[in-house]
Structure 1
Amino acid sequence: MSAAVSRRQVLRRTLPALGLIILGVLTGGCSTAPVVVGDEPEEPVFSADRLIRPDVQQFDEMDDPFMAFNKTMYRFNYRVDKYVLLPLVIGYYKVTPSFFRAGVHNFFTNFFNIRTIYNSLLQGSGRKTLHTTGRFAVNTTIGLLGLFDPATPMGIPQHREDFGQTLGKWGVGAGPYLVLPLLGPSSVRDGIGTGVDWYVTTQIRDAILDPDRTMQIIWSLLYAIDTRAHVKFLYYGTGSPFEYSLVRTLYTEKRRLDIEK
């Protein structure tokens, strides 16, 4: 029996159980934050959208020709976050033990090392490629398919690279600022990079695991919940009346530093 077949069998046996956990998350999360259909979420009195006109550039005159669309998406993402994602995260923490959550996070972190590996290769960074390949090999084998992270105590560095950074390394400009539905702050360049990374990693996942539709849904739900659980940002929680502009500035600067490093 090949290693690939063995991995598929393990995941096929595990994912139905994860599906039951997700069901518990859905019921637990809904019970903690009930939402009446038709309710409009209340925004803070001093939200950026109430103080800043969409046609006015703020702070440092950043390239934001899609501001009206971006602010609409920002409010949409706020509502999805408040009424869907955060209740799911709350339910997830209620029905799962900490070791399970750590294993899920380690698994996804290890799998998406693949994204860093191919982007490091495309960027011509041998150091990052070797480090990340080493982490992936150690955590996939000794760490039982990535459920554990022995690479960190072994001192193997962690890198995070994506195709948006790769395009930046190749000299492609960021282009206008863009707020993506569900995904949040981005740019035209990074939006293209996100699409490329999603396609490549999905193809690799399907080639390795051969998941059916149910497995794909469970994978996507767990990944979304785990990702949101590890993002500390809270919409309208910055204390600034100019939050949209502040987030735009911080994101743009962070991406510039990511590409320069």
Structure 2
Amino acid sequence: MTRNTDVRTVLVTAATGKTGRRVAERLAARGFAVRAGSRGGGTLFDWEREETWGPALEGAGLVYAAYYPDLAAPGAVEALSAFGRLAAGAGVRRVVLLSGRGEPEAARAEEALRQAAAGVGLVVVRAAFFVQNFTEGALAEGVAAGAFSFPAGSVAEPFVDADDLADVVVAALTEDGHAGKVHEVTGPRPLTFAQAAAELGAALGREVRYVPVSRARYAAELVGYGLPEPEAAWLAGLFASLLDGHNASVTDGVRRVLGREPRDFADAVKAAFAPGAGV
């Protein structure tokens, strides 16, 4: 594999996802050569097929790594270790890794990448729960129908706007002074899911209800949507563990990186549901 890399060439993994798409768009607008990595179309990249990683990395100087389904998933440590070795061998200069706040398993995957990619400037961006999970993600269908369920009880979460996250990632990729750092990004205030439902309803002009459910009930709902039972149980458990209150605090990550305040939940959902927004 060649080590002749170009810092204007960026591999963006999961480039059709909520964050990858935004990162790719911002980099392209700045004149970077973007390799939009995905399982279909663009640059072939699949986290479950290691043979796709090397060709996607070849010649790229920068990488945005958004691991699917989550850094806390079984097998993530091994995958990130292998990916790190390939990235280092390919001569990649910097990797920005998307991670989650307060996830011990994700932290293990971060460290595996850090050790395997010695010499590569690694930046970790740990994000709160995305606002866009309500507008273009797993909960969007329920929001559109007027009610959504989730195993979060009355716990508050400082939801982060995916556009803010993308701006942080692009800054970490393209500006000096970020290598070796961990940036934790949140929105400006914590909201319970019931409060989030009220904000969503206000933006839509009609009632939206939050229905708290148990971990087991949510897993059963996911199975009903077609998710395999083991994956549904793991995902429900992950959400329940993250939304137990330990992530309710707000950080200044967005302000420190971008020099401005993060966008509020209410403003983000109003923009998402505005006429012509495409949601």
Place the TM-score, normalised by the shorter chain, in its bin: under 0.3
Q: Which structure has the bigger radius of gyration?
A: 1
| Highest RCO, 1 vs 2 (Cα 8 Å, sep ≥ 6) | 1
- TM-score relative to the length of structure 1: 0.28
Q: Identify, as 1 or 2, the structure richer in strand.
A: 2
More helix by percentage: 1
